[in-house]
Homo-oligomer: A and B are copies of this chain.
Amino acid sequence: MAECPSAIVKRVLIANRGEIACRIIRACHEEDLEAVAVYSEADRQSPHVHLADTAVEIGPAPSKESYLVAEKIIGAARDAGADAIHPGYGFLAERAHFAQLVEQNGLTFIGPPATAIRAMGEKTEARRRMEAAGVPIIPGSGEAVASADDAHAVAQQVGYPIMLKAAAGGGGKGMRRVDGRSDLDSAFRAATSEATTAFGDGAVYVEKLLDRPRHVEIQILADRFGNTLHVGERECSVQRRHQKLIEEAPSPAVNVDLRLAMGEAAVRAAAAVGYLSAGTVEFLLAPGDVFYFLEMNTRLQVEHPVTELVYGVDIVREQLRIAAGEPTTLPGRPMRPRGHAIECRITSEDPFNKFLPATGHISFVRTPSGPGVRWDGGIEAGNDVGVYYDPLLAKVIAWGETRDRAIRRMRRALDELVIVGVPTSQPFHRRVMDDAAFGSGDYDIGYLETHGERLLETRLDDGALERAAVAAALAEHEARGATCGVARNGPAQDGSAWLRAARLHGLR
């Protein structure tokens, strides 16, 4: 496709919000491109609006009335004079229809062709294609099953436990583990119902459930000059309900040979659907270096920064270049990772309350910084966290010369981070960084199930309890005094009592 004329990309609309919109706006500015933000009524004061060169309001807070309305995005692009659209992740990013609509309106879609999105989005179809391309797949039904009985028939061939998965889905929605026939009916109903809600299509298929595999994925970049390259793996086994919480690169379970084998399989997967731009091929890695295709995410991934840090590449920049018809800047040969990177997703979920999503007004943020720490944020003091969107607030990413160093650095960064106004997942991450099971690198997708309860026990040693109690009492005392506006210890006879009190309470 080298003869394809270069698209003119000067002004990019980012059809997203939060941290990923900020990330993409930054990449645009570093490439001398103007960035157009879109925002719902709830997001007028969000950081992505402040960072952009212009911003267009696209409707009420619910995503179905704003960020998910393809026509409003296209309209905003036209109004703002944008010539390209970056979808980020989530929202419209993996809707083939949207990619098509963008191109039909004479705009450049910064992502893969609609055909590739469609091919990978229909999961049973993707399985067939992968099998044909020589990419190892998990034994299973291969196509949607019509009933619990049909699912059972497949399960008898491949053996329980099995996984029910939404054919149209991804991201953990419409998935259910089934350990035996007795669980199957309710699980089938739940998966079908959830798939219908999430994707408008209730079809589910059956896969054999592997025994505690690791989730390892390969980053892909493909340009119009025939380069389809793999850029190493990411380890994403710390998950909760199939939602990733912590990612790292490289994977502690992957050596040079396995990296090459998985990378080449991922390239075959991408090439089989005519892929372009950045994408991720997810695998389950079982003991003995056996790996199976899970799905391909045909978009920028939340966890892309860990790859950027160890390979010294800028994946969003590569996307912008590829969309403009330029070749990728990566070398054709396999690259070697330098050091180690870890990402913690800071979400507005309360780990001590079953990770329930929380809302609130963020009154204060102290971001971590210093050597080896990257903050990809989507919030600032003054923002409200509402119920309408994904709870991801920001990502802390730490790089170190070794995995051990990266963990220590992440621990230090999490010590520095302060978010006041909404409960976050920060305490969970902080504890994982101290956890020997995580530190060993020998963990799998059962990590949270196995260690979660222990990790989230109340931790308060005597010294910390006493210090916190003293601080709370002094603060309360000060607050009451300040409210009353009178001396608390009787009338002051001279200035010194006031001085002592002022010193005690930190008044200036």
| Distance between A223 CB and nearest chain B CB, rounded to angstroms | 16
Number of copies: 2
| Chain B neighbourhood of A377, CB < 8 A | 369
Q: Chain A 1-32, CB within 8 Å of chain B: the 1/0 string? A: 00000000000000000000011001101111
- The CA-CA distance from A405 to B312 in the complex, in Å, is 12
Q: Is A339 an interface residue (CB 8 A)?
A: yes
The interface residues of chain A, by DSSP majority, are classed as mixed
- The CA-CA distance from A68 to B134 in the complex, in Å, is 70
- Which of B32, B370, B411 is A374 in contact with, Cβ under 8 Å? B370
| Chain B neighbourhood of A411, CB < 8 A | 29-30
**Number of residues of chain A lying within 8 A (CB) of chain B:** 38
Closest to A19 in B: B370
Is A312 a contact of B401 with CB atoms below 8 Å? Answer: yes
| Distance between A386 CB and nearest chain B CB, rounded to angstroms | 14
Q: Is A51 an interface residue (CB 8 A)?
A: yes
- The CA-CA distance from A305 to B412 in the complex, in Å, is 18
Q: Is A122 an interface residue (CB 8 A)?
A: no
User: Which residues of A in the span 404-419 have a Cβ within 8 Å of any Cβ on B?
Assistant: 405, 408-409, 411-412, 415-416
A329 with B401, Cβ < 8 A, contacts A23-B370, A375-B369 known = yes
User: Which residues of A in the span 331-385 have a Cβ within 8 Å of any Cβ on B?
Assistant: 338-339, 366-367, 369-377, 380
Is A371 a contact of B374 with CB atoms below 8 Å? Answer: yes
Q: Is A314 an interface residue (CB 8 A)?
A: yes
Is B412 a contact of A23 with CB atoms below 8 Å? Answer: no
| Chain B neighbourhood of A369, CB < 8 A | 367, 369, 374-377
Is A29 a contact of B313 with CB atoms below 8 Å? Answer: no
- The CA-CA distance from A312 to B313 in the complex, in Å, is 15
- The CA-CA distance from A376 to B373 in the complex, in Å, is 10
- The CA-CA distance from A405 to B329 in the complex, in Å, is 12
Q: Is A201 an interface residue (CB 8 A)?
A: no
- What are 8 A-B pairs with beta-carbon distances under 8 A? A22-B370, A23-B370, A26-B370, A27-B371, A30-B408, A305-B371, A308-B371, A370-B375
